[in-house]
Structure formats: structure tokens, C-alpha cells
Amino acid sequence: MKTLRMGMLATLLLTACDFDVPDLNRPGLDTLQKPTTSSVQALATGLLIGARKGVTDRVGLVVEWGILGREALVLTPSDPRFVNELLQGSLDPGSNNFGGNFWVIPYSNIRGANLLLHALDNPSFVGFTTAQKEATRGFAKTIQALDYLQVIDSHDVNGAVLNVDLPVGQVAPIVTSTDQIFTFIETLLEDAKTNLTAGGTAFPFPLGTGFTGFDTPATFLKFNRALRARVAVYHKKYPEALTALGESFLDDTKCPSTPPADAACRKSLDIGAFHAFGAGSGDTPNVLNTSDILCHPSTVTEAEAGDLRVAAKVKTLTTPVALSDHGSSYGFTLYPNSDSPVPIIRNEELILLRAEANIGQSNLVPAITDIDRIRVNSGGLAPSSGLGSGNILDELLKQKRYSLLFEGGHRWIDLRRYGILDASHVSIDIPKDVIHAAFPIPLTESQAR
């Protein structure tokens, strides 16, 4: 009986002390209940880190979407799936590295943006001025739109989940209407515009060299408008696209549509927003300069003679690579270093988007002028001739192919949008190769619902 009493006493003593230890390893949702200036700044910077996550990986979007559009090839003896899943067979919802990443990576960053937006709305957060909060909101929503765009670019009619700002475990439906998804992204970008317009003169956190020239709320808005124009073109809302382009950083002033080409124009075409990379500790390097990432031979063989873009972006390898009945003797020179930036959107694309919107409106004259600006200055080619409503789209897509080569699957996405992702537009190497149109919803989503 005495022992029992002692035991009960010990138990009472134990109960009396408080073991409640907070998370000492990392900041978390608990921390964000009372946001500090530094945690909100870090969360904002984290969105840039999340947006570039996996972009340059061999299993990232530049390479894999490039493979699907036959801009690139990966022939490596260490993983046959680059051929057997991406060029043949069918895309596997159970392969994280062959599709699954284009779902989980953007959605984790979308969650990050939602956490940031909640922290900014938290009444106890007083570290930013009202204008700074607005600027940060506009930034977060713009990056979020970019992430949603990655989901729809990779999954197309297979769908996307839109309203994901829910407690973990609760799920919103998968929306398969691309119209609804594009409208959702457009609304996000318009909301962001409103926020950025009220965002004062400076962001309360650094945006890094990837956003040089777009690092104030006013100039970042021009990047936002550029994305808005791309989404509008994808959505076939051409008047909206032209309006957005007018508010973007589109600059054609240095670009004549007749020879001679202007070096200043070529420089202006490269102005844009980029994913930044670095080799420093904790930073992410650009790893696209790997010997098993090859340029698809059709990129060279189907180019117009003398196209300077091929010479500038593609190199001939001393040793051709062949594997599984596929081969190439070309590699890319676009990303030579570990800190080479990867374009998000550039002036060159904006000029081509304007041409595309004008074609959509049947305004062929301004479209031809823009196509020629790119042909003459970027390609070093003669202006186009004989373009009419029957062939102008093919010519535009060809210019997009070479101007935006290996920058994030533009060829694949563009052909799919016009329903011509077929053997007459995409080079099939061997009979058993197929052209995949979109990644399936991954098992990490469908099986957990």
C-alpha cells in the first residue's frame, strides 16, 4: 500500500511539470501564427526557390517536356525510362520522376504561397507597411499563377486541382475543364495586378538577379502582364492577350522587320524574367549541361539553312550518342554553367505571342511584321514571303520552336494547343515511338483521395 502511494505521488509530480516543447528544428505553421518580418521575408524568397525546384533536373520540365516535343533526348544507360516511358509506351502515373514531379513540386509551392498570404493577413503581423503587404501579395499570387500554369501545361485535359487552400487532408475536386483552369489562373493574375498597383515603390524582400529590371512592384507588374498574355493566348482570348502585352515589357523598338539585323534588338529579345541558379552552399545549381542530355537531331535537320539560333544554341558532339535505336550527335549550349539562368518569359516570346494573338484575330499584317522581326534579328534569316491564312500558323510555330528552344517545352505545349501534336509536326525516330500529349494525374494524388 505504501508503494502504491509513492507511485501515485510520483505520477502526480510528473503530471505537474510541463513537457510542452515547441519545434526547435525548423519554423513551421506554429511559428507563422505569429509571423515575424524575417519569417515572412524568408517565405517570400522561398517561393522563388520553390518555383525553380527541379527545373533543370534531368527529370525536370525543361528536359522532359523537351523530350516529349522532340527538342531533346536523354540517352543514358543508367535509366531506360527516358526512352521507354517518354518516347514509347505510355506515361505512368506511378512514376514520380517521369511526370509526378510536375504535380507535387508546383503544388508544394502553391501551398507555400498560401501560407505567405495568410501570414500577411494575420492581424498580429506588423513588420510590413500596408503597401509592402500589397506588393508581397501581388508577388505571391503571380508566382502561384506560374505554378498553376506548370500543372496545366503538363497535365492539360487530365486536369488540375484549383482550390487547394484547405487543411491538409481535405481535398478539392480535380477540374478537367481547361477553360475553367485558365480562367482561375487569369483571375489570380488580375488579383495580383490589383495588389501590385497598390504596392508602393519597393518589395520588402530581395528578388535576386533572375528578376533584374522587374524587382519593384511597378516593374514586376510588367512580368505579371507578360504571364497574363501567355495564359490569354493559351486560352484563345486574343483581345485580352493584346491588352496584357501592351502593359507588359514587350519591346520591339530596336527590332526592324527587314534586314539588316540589329545587334541591339537581339539583346533586347533576351530581356525577361529568369529562374536564377547558383553553385553556392545551399543554392541549387543549373545541371542542364550534362553529356547525356542531347538535342534531338530533327531540331537541326528541320531548320532553315543559316538559322543563327541553331548555331547559337546547338553544338555538334565529337562522339555521337546512340542507345535503344535512338541517337543524336547534337547537344545544347544554352546553359553552359551552374549559374546559367533559365528563362521564365522573355521579350522574344512576347513578340511571338503578339503575332499569335493577331493571327487569332486574323490580323495577318501585324503578325507577319512580328514574325519577320524574329526571323531577321534572332534567326538572321530573310523576311518571310508568301504567308497567308493557310500557312502562317505553321510559320509562327516554327519561329517559336527555334526562338524558345529548350526553354520549357514550348514546342510540345504549342503543338498540343493547336491539336497538331502529330507525326507531321513531330519527328518520330522509329515506328514504335509515340507522342504523349499530357501527363496523367499521378498516383500520389489519385490514390490518396
Partner 1 sequence: MLERRLALTAALRGETSSSNGDPNKIYFYPKASASYRFQNLLSDLDELKVRAAYGETGNHPLYGARFTSLQVNTNIQGNPGIGVNFICSPAAPGNGACAGDPNIKPERAREFEVGTDVTAFAGAATLELNLYQRTIVDLLLQHAVPASSGWTAQWSNGGVLRNRGIEIALSVRPTLPSDLRLESTVGFSRNVSSVRSLPGGAFVTGGFGASLGVYRIEQGASATQIVGDVGLLPDGTCCVLKKIGDAEPDFLVHFSNRLVWRNFSLYFLLDWQKGSNIINLTRLLYDANANSADWNTTGQARFNHWLASYADAYVESASFLKLREITLAYEVPSGFAGSLWSAIKKIRFSVSARNLFTITPYSSWDPEVSNFANQPIYRNIEVTPYPSSRSFWTSVDMSFY
Binding residues for partner 1 restricted to 210-239, rule: CB under 8 A:
210
Is residue 445 part of the contact set for partner 1 (CB under 8 A)?
yes
For the segment 239-268, give every residue that binds partner 1 (CB under 8 A): none
Q: Does 3 bind partner 1 (CB under 8 A)?
A: no
Coil/strand/helix, residue 299: helix
The secondary structure element, H or E, covering residue 343 is strand 342-346
CA atoms of 254 and 251, how far apart (whole Å): 8
Q: Is 27 in the site for partner 1 (CB under 8 A)?
A: yes
Q: Strand ranges (DSSP E) for 288-341? A: 293-295, 314-323, 326-332
Stretch that binds partner 1, among 14-22, 123-131, 185-193, 404-412 (CB under 8 A): 14-22
Q: Does residue number 39 form part of the binding site for partner 1 (CB under 8 A)? A: yes
- Answer for which of 282, 388, 390, 431 binds partner 1 (CB under 8 A) is 282
> Can you tell me the distance from the alpha carbon of 218 to that of 213, in angstroms, rounded to the nearest whole number?
10
Nearer to partner 1 by Cβ, of 32 and 229: the residue is: 32
Nearer Cβ to partner 1 (99/380):
99
Q: Which of 97, 95, 103, 66 is nearest to 401 (CA)?
A: 66
Q: Do 63 and 25 touch, CB atoms closer than 8 A?
A: no
Near partner 1 by CB under 8 A: residue from 62, 73, 87, 105: 105
Contact region with partner 1 (CB under 8 A), list: 100-108, 118-126, 181-189, 227-235: 100-108
* 6 forms part of the interface with partner 1 (CB under 8 A): no
Residue 243: how many other CB atoms lie within 10 Å = 16
Does the footprint of partner 1 cover residue 278 (CB under 8 A)? Answer: yes
**For residues 127 and 41, what is the distance between their CA atoms, to the nearest angstrom?**
10
* Cα–Cα nearest to 406, from 334, 328, 329, 317: 334
Q: How far is the CB of 127 from partner 1 (least distance, A)?
A: 15
- Which of 36, 46, 216, 420: binder of partner 1 (CB under 8 A)? 46
45 binds partner 1 (CB under 8 A): yes
Q: Minimal distance in Å, beta carbon 134 to partner 1?
A: 21
Residue 449 engages partner 1 in binding (rule: CB under 8 A): yes
The reply to whether 33 sits near partner 1 by the rule CB under 8 A is: no
Stretch that binds partner 1, among 273-281, 298-306, 344-352, 411-419 (CB under 8 A): 273-281
* 23 forms part of the interface with partner 1 (CB under 8 A): yes
What sign results for the dihedral spanned by CA atoms 71, 77, 82, 85? positive
Q: Is 93 in the site for partner 1 (CB under 8 A)?
A: yes
Q: SS3 for 143-165, per residue?
A: HHHHHHHHHHHHHHHHCEECCCC
Residues in 106-165 at the binding interface with partner 1, rule: CB under 8 A: 107-112, 115, 161, 164
CB of 346 to partner 1, least distance (A): 20
Neighbouring C-alpha atoms within 13 Å toward the C-beta of 76? 13
Say how far apart CA 41 and CA 3 lie, in whole Å.
Answer: 57
Instruction: Give the nearer residue to partner 1 in terms of CB position, either 22 or 390.
Output: 22
Interacting residues with partner 1 between 362 and 391 (CB under 8 A)? none
- Binding mask 55-84 vs partner 1 (x if CB under 8 A, - otherwise)? ----------------------xx-xx--x
Using only C-alpha atoms, the chain has a radius of gyration, in whole angstroms, of 25
Q: What are phi and psi of 166, to 5 degrees?
A: -130, 160
- Does 284 contact partner 1 by CB under 8 A? yes
Q: CA 109, CA 175: separation in Å to the nearest integer?
A: 19
Show contacts with partner 1 in window 307-366 (CB under 8 A).
323-324
Listed residue (45, 47, 83) closest to 64, CA to CA:
83
Report the C-alpha gap between 37 and 304 in whole angstroms. 54
Contact 349, 230 (CB under 8 A): yes
Contact residue for partner 1 among 3, 5, 13, 19 (CB under 8 A): 19
H or E element at residue 74 = strand 72-74
Site for partner 1, residues 174 to 193, rule: CB under 8 A: none
Task: Say how many residues touch partner 1, by CB under 8 A.
Answer: 82
Q: Rounded to the nearest whole angstrom, what is the least distance from the CB of residue 407 to partner 1 in the complex?
A: 19
